[in-house]
Amino acid sequence: MSLTIVPVDPANRPFFAGLVSGCDVSQPLSPDAVAAIHAGMDRFAVLVFRDQRIDDAQQIAFSRSLGPLEQATGDIAAPEDRRLSMDINDISNLDKDERVLARDDRRRLFGLGNQLWHSDSSFKPVPAKYSILSARRIPAGGGNTEFADMRAAYDALDDDMKREIHDLICLHSQLFSRAILGFTDFTEAEREKWAPVRQRLVRRHPSTGRLSLYLASHAGAIEGWPVPEARALLRDLTEHATQRQLVYAHVWRQHDLVMWDNRATMHRARRYDHAEVRDMRRTTLTNEVSSLDEAPHPLEAIRLPA
Ligand SMILES: [Fe+2]
């Protein structure tokens, strides 16, 4: 069984989002398969694996074969209320007894932040590399996940904008993204845990060398800029980056596994009926270094035509 990858939508998006065949993620991967997945991620930034009936242990083993995992410290559930291990981010609407959360449950309201465009764990000093999301149970309708190609978004900026943003540093926090939705009900401990962290606005992909816009709804300030001006620019860039021609909308089937590179994409979940079960489980590879360590070459901005 050899692993092959073709574009999900060759006519409209030949270089973004690939469909993988010939890979059973419940089984140990050969070195060739690991290399093919990394090469596919470098090319497509999003990979879709269909019909992967896996349990948590298999998802963790598959993920670890691609790199070290980060821990689910971005979740809001208290340790005693967690449904899943710390190796897995719980992207469901279920409590630890598998009951659907009440509409006004604090954990659900916090989780609605996933409906804003973001890059996973950009609020951590060392953010996420790949996210690997397994659809265990899905609602009858809605709940798509949309992905935006932040390499293409960067490339499509005009040179004046590229020059202006080349070395900007943003501050990211879950407090910023939730405040957009009017969720400000944080404990002192949570405010401390999610104090803003610094991330580059333009980062270089370590294996492809491509530059991308590193945006997220978690970004609420730019160092050295007045806050309203920073937020206006971040909103403007986000609108630019999420034009429909740069977006792939994934319509989930049960047992889909979708993997994306958080260094090169943003994503958001779409609405669904909150009374239906949606059980998605995410393992996450750590990027191991900060985006601050993935700066474009200093001469790059100078080379841009004035
Ligand atoms: Fe996410």
Check residue 77 and give its pLDDT: 87
Identify any residues that bridge with 282 across adjacent strands, giving them in sequence order: 89, 133
Residue 170 has pLDDT above 90, yes or no: yes
pLDDT at 229 over 80: yes
The pairing of beta strand 279-286 with beta strand 89-90: antiparallel
Say what the pLDDT of residue 305 is: 63
How far is Cα 31 from Cα 122, in angstroms, rounded to an integer?
Answer: 30
**Which tens digit of pLDDT belongs to each residue from 234-250?**
999 999 999 999 999 99
Residue 87 Cα to ligand 1 middle (Å): 15
The predicted structure's pLDDT at residue 93:
97
Residue 45 has pLDDT above 70, yes or no: yes
CA–centroid distance, 262 to ligand 1, in Å, is 9
- Residue 115 Cα to ligand 1 midpoint, Å, equals 8
Structure confidence at residue 79 as a pLDDT band (50, 70, 90):
confident
When pLDDT is averaged across residues 44-59 and rounded to a whole number, the result is 98
pLDDT over 90 at 306, yes or no:
no
Tokens of 283: 């393992």
Q: What strands lie across the sheet with 219-222, from one edge to the other?
A: 197-200, 169-172, 219-222
Say how many Å lie between the CA of residue 68 and the centre of ligand 1.
18
| Residue 301 confidence class, pLDDT cut points 50, 70, 90 | low
Q: What is the DSSP string of the chain?
A: ---EEEEEETTTEEEEEEEEES--TTSPPPHHHHHHHHHHHHHHSEEEE-S----HHHHHHHHHTTSPBPP-TT--S-GGG-SS-TTSEE-SSB-TTSPBPPTT-HHHHHHGGGGS-B-TTTTSSS-EEEEEEEEEE--SS---EEEEEHHHHHHTS-HHHHHHHTT-EEEE-HHHHHHHTT-----HHHHHHT--EEEESEEE-TTT--EEE---TTEEEETTS-HHHHHHHHHHHHHHHT-GGGEEEE---TT-EEEEETTTEEEEE----TTS--EEEEEEEE-SS-GGGSPPPTHHHHHS--
- Close Cβ partners of 300 (under 8 Å, ≥ 6 residues apart): 166, 211
Assign residue 199 a region (left: φ > 0; alpha: ψ between -120 and 50; beta: otherwise). beta
Q: What percent of the chain has pLDDT over 90?
A: 93
Please give the distance, rounded to the nearest whole angstrom, from the Cα atom of residue 153 to the centre of ligand 1.
Answer: 19
CA distance 2 to 147: 27
- What spacing in Å lies between the alpha carbon of 267 and ligand 1's midpoint? 6
How far apart, in whole angstroms, are the C-alpha atoms of residue 7 and residue 20? 9
- The predicted pLDDT at position 230 comes to 98
Residues 7-22, mean pLDDT to the nearest whole number: 95
Q: Average pLDDT in the 223-242 region?
A: 98
Residue 140: how many CB atoms within 10 A of its CB? 8
Contacts of 31 (CB under 8 A, 6+ apart): none
**Confidence tier at 173 by pLDDT (50, 70, 90):** very high
CA of 306 to the centre of ligand 1 (A): 37
Distance, in Å, from the CA atom of 210 to the CA atom of 196, rounded to the nearest integer, reads 26
Taking the C-alpha atoms of residue 246 and residue 179, their distance in angstroms, rounded to an integer, is 27
- Average of per-residue pLDDT across 277-285: 98
pLDDT at 32: 97
Rounded to the nearest angstrom, the distance between the alpha carbon of 118 and the centre of ligand 1 is 6
- Find the mean pLDDT for residues 52-77: 96
Q: What pTM, to 2 d.p., does this model score?
A: 0.96
Residues whose beta carbons lie less than 5 angstroms from ion ligand 1: 120
258: pLDDT strictly greater than 80:
yes
- Chain segment 142-163, per-residue pLDDT in tens: 999 999 999 999 999 999 999 9
